[in-house]
Each structure stands twice: as structure tokens, then as C-alpha cells.
Amino acid sequence: MKERVHLIIKGDVQGVGFRFRAIEVARDLGLAGWVRNNPDGRVEIVAEGEKDILQNLITWSKKGPPAAVVEKALVTWQKATGEFEAFTVKY
């Protein structure tokens, strides 16, 4: 059964390759959704897939790529809508 996770990542997470790497990780996991930089300096991710696979994305997001400094990852579980076909950058 598919689920949706909404993540807000706080810290030094913009300009360090976080979005680029998040796309790679999500696609490698077979997830669909999007990632974007928010004006307040946080990174936001919405992803859909199997819960155990989404947990892998959450675990990665709490650390991020090597240049990132993640202070906090806010995780909200939601019902999947099936609206995404791929994982992309949202502007």
C-alpha cells in the first residue's frame, strides 16, 4: 500500500547539492514526488511510495549529502494521491 511523506528539512541545506542528491536517492528508490528549495532556506520534499521505502528517504534526509548540515527534519505522513509519475524538482 502506497503512502505519502511530506518532509521539511532545516539547516544548511541550500547550495550544497541537497536537491540534486535527493532526486537521485528518490529515483533510485523508485519514489515519485518532488523536492524544492523554499525561500526561508529550508528544503521541502513530498514523496509517494511504499512506507518502508519512504523510510529510507527519511533516513537519508536527516543526514543529506556530505556538504549539508541538517538541523531538523520534520516528517508528516499523509495518504498517497497517486498524482505523481516521477520524482522532479518543483520551482
| Active site amino acids | 19, 37
Give the Cα separation of 78 and 35 in Å (integer): 16
* Of the candidates 67, 70, 62, 90, the residue with the CA atom closest to the CA atom of residue 17: 67
- In this structure, what DSSP letter does residue 17 have? S
Q: Which three cell numbers stand for residue 36?
A: 524544492
